[in-house]
């Protein structure tokens, strides 16, 4: 990789300051005790359970909740099995990713004399900062990918800023930190970048980095297994696919090290289940699952409730950019479109295709590198007239997304059940924005 210019470092500094400033104002003032609730509390619970309470039954849950939250209806992540064992409904990968920040929060808590219970102020500060940090790490990997494709700096950063502020990346980095998506985003984008580096060099170290990123991504959300065909969609031709397969085969027995690394990381969850239930696997989601015969594709993409393209129209523009990419690299455009179609099919087959309280379709966030790569390539390759039109559309759609995020935060758009009437009643109501 060529040396990163000072202007690039300045962009990272700007993004860091902006995201930290926003999340500090929203989450670290008087509302800090509300950060750990619902799904976020479940993702995080493994850390205090293992490192503070030595309690994988999570009996500490009620005392801690009552200490910090006056509203008891903040969700209970515990699931009781038929044998009376207790498990966390959510997988442990997010907590593993948060571990370095948890350790830092614990050290600061000890030094400042606050309660070392896993839930006092500096633990929350560390959790909030972890979402920002992993988002920035994902953006770094994505920028590396764009440099690999030869996208110039101005267009790289135009797309990166648009992604941050024109999609729900902004929401889960700064507004609702602690969800699994920023951590998956970093793992999957890192996996994609190291895959491209492996394509260049065939070196084992990139293969092992790929294995580590893939293992952690699956530990965070097992459905992230679906990323594997998407990696080959990053290549420009079928010929490159054949070359990569040959490079993998040339590793021979060294391939086993990557497999063992993935298994070792994923076995963390199996060990936890073994300690909790006496068996190596337990499906904690009960009757919740996928119905692949009845995917809600139209609702997933366009509904007023959670339509991905309705609330993230920038993603629609990026997807349409594949049409131009098809003229230059037919294999890559076709493969990316098929991969995105696979994502939509699988995610829209989940019983709750709207994925509860969220902004836009949150499960698409971690695959943003695959969604927005065509947009960056479009800006790099097209003529000046179409580029100006595209940049104008990107700016308008980014501002539109920020307006909708504001409306989501302040209840003008319902967090789970927005209706057609509510959507159009709030549509472009900037006057309500200014009244706040």
What confidence tens digit (pLDDT) does each residue in 273-294 have? 999 999 999 999 989 999 999 9
Residue 240's pLDDT is: 87
Q: What is the pLDDT of residue 31?
A: 81
**pLDDT (mean) for 293-297:** 97
Give the pLDDT score at 249. Answer: 86
Model confidence at 4, pLDDT cuts 50, 70, 90, reads low
Whether residue 269 has pLDDT greater than 60: yes
Whether residue 79 has pLDDT greater than 90: yes
Per-residue pLDDT of 138-176, as tens digits, reads 999 999 999 999 999 999 999 999 999 999 999 999 999
CA neighbor of 124 nearest in space, from 60, 53, 62, 34: 34
Contact 357, 38 (CB under 8 A): yes
Measure the CA–CA gap between 374 and 381, rounded to whole angstroms: 10
pLDDT computed for residue 331 by the predictor: 93
Whether residue 3 is predicted with pLDDT greater than 60 in this model: the reply is no
Other C-beta atoms closer than 10 Å to the C-beta of 32 total 19
What is the structure's pLDDT at 283? Answer: 93
pLDDT band, very low/low/confident/very high, at 42 (cuts 50, 70, 90): very high
Q: Which backbone phi and psi does 418 adopt, to 5 degrees?
A: -60, 135
Region 121-147: what's the mean pLDDT?
97
More confident residue, 22 or 239: 22
Report CA dihedral (264, 96, 132, 142) to the nearest 10 degrees. 10
Residue ranges covered by each domain of the chain: 6-17+126-435
- CB contact at 8 A, 106 and 116: yes
Q: What is the pLDDT of residue 250?
A: 86
Mean pLDDT of the residues in the chain: 93
| DSSP collapsed to 3 states, the chain | CCCCCHHHHHHHHHHHHHHHHHHHHHHCCCCHHHCCCHHHHHHHCHHHHHHCCCCCCCCCHHHHHHHHCCCCCCCCCEEECCCCCEEECCCCHHHHHHHHHHHHHHHHHHHHCCCCCCCCHHHHHHHHHHHHHHHHHHHHHHHHHHHHCCCCHHHHHHHHHHHHHHCCHHHHHHHCCCCCHHHHHHHHHHHHHHHHHHHHHCCHHHHHHHHHHHHHHHHHCHHHHHHHHHHHCCCCCHHHHHHHHHHHHHHHHHHHHHHHHHHHHHHHHHHHHHHHHCCCCCCCCCCCCECCCCCCHHHHHHCCCCCHHHHCHHHHHHHHCHHHHHHHCHHHHHHHHHHHHHHHHHHCCECCCCCCCCCCCHHHHHHHHHHHHHHHHHHHHCCHHHHHHHHHHHHHHHHHHHHHHHHHHCCCCCCCCCCHHHHHHHCCCHHHHHHC
Residue in 233, 231, 243 with CA at minimum distance from that of residue 202: 243
Check residue 70 and give its pLDDT.
63
- pLDDT reading at 320 higher than 70: yes
Does position 57 have pLDDT exceeding 80, yes or no?
yes
Looking at residue 6, what is its pLDDT? 59
Average pLDDT of the residues in 353-380: 95
Give residue 396's pLDDT.
97
Q: pLDDT, tens digit, for every residue of 329-352?
A: 899 999 999 999 999 999 999 999
Q: Are 182 and 173 in contact (CB under 8 A)?
A: yes
Q: Can you tell me the distance from the alpha carbon of 44 to that of 119, in angstroms, rounded to the nearest whole number?
A: 10
Q: Calculate mean pLDDT across residues 309-326.
A: 95
Which whole number is the average pLDDT over 183-188?
Answer: 98
pTM of the model: 0.94
For range 229-255, the mean pLDDT: 89
Q: Are 385 and 392 in contact (CB under 8 A)?
A: no
pLDDT at site 2: 47
């Amino acid at each position: 990789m060529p040396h990163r210019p000072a202007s690039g470092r300045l962009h990272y500094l700007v993004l860091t300051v902006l995201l930290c400033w926003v999340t500090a104002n929203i989450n670290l003032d008087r509302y800090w005790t509300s950060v750990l609730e619902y799904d976020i509390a479940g993702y995080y619970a493994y850390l205090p359970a293992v490192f503070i309470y030595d309690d994988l039954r999570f009996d500490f849950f009620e005392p801690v909740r009552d200490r910090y939250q006056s509203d008891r209806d903040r969700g209970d992540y515990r699931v009781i099995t038929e044998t009376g064992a207790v498990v966390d409904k959510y997988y442990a990968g997010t907590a593993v990713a948060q571990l370095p920040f948890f350790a830092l929060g614990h050290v600061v808590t000890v030094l400042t004399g606050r309660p070392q219970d896993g839930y006092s102020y500096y633990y929350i500060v560390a959790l909030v900062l972890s979402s920002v940090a992993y988002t920035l790490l994902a953006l770094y990997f994505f920028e590396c990918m764009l440099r690999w494709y030869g996208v110039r700096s101005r267009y790289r950063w135009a797309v990166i800023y648009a992604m941050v502020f024109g999609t729900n990346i902004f929401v889960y980095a700064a507004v609702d930190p602690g969800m699994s998506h920023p951590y998956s985003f970093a793992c999957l984008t890192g996996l994609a970048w190291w895959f491209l580096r492996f394509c260049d060099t065939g070196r084992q170290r990139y293969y092992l980095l790929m294995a580590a990123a893939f293992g952690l991504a699956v530990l965070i959300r097992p459905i992230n297994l679906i990323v594997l065909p998407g990696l080959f969609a990053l290549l420009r031709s079928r010929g490159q696919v054949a070359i990569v397969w040959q490079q993998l085969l040339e590793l021979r027995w060294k391939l086993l090290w990557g497999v063992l690394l993935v298994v070792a990381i994923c076995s963390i969850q199996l060990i936890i289940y073994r300690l909790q239930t006496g068996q190596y696997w337990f499906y904690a989601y009960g009757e919740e699952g996928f119905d692949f015969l009845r995917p809600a594709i139209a609702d997933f993409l366009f509904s007023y409730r959670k339509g991905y393209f309705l609330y993230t129209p920038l993603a629609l523009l990026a997807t349409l950019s594949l049409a131009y990419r098809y003229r230059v690299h037919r294999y890559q455009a076709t493969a990316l479109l098929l991969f995105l179609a696979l994502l939509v099919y699988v995610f829209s087959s989940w019983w709750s295709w709207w994925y509860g309280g969220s902004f836009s379709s949150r499960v698409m966030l971690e695959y943003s590198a695959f969604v927005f790569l065509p947009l960056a390539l479009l800006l790099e390759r097209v003529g000046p007239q179409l580029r100006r039109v595209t940049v104008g559309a990107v700016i308008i759609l980014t501002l539109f997304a920020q307006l909708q995020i504001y409306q989501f935060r302040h209840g003008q758009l319902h967090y789970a059940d927005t209706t057609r009437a509510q959507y159009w009643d709030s549509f472009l109501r900037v006057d309500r924005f200014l009244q706040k």
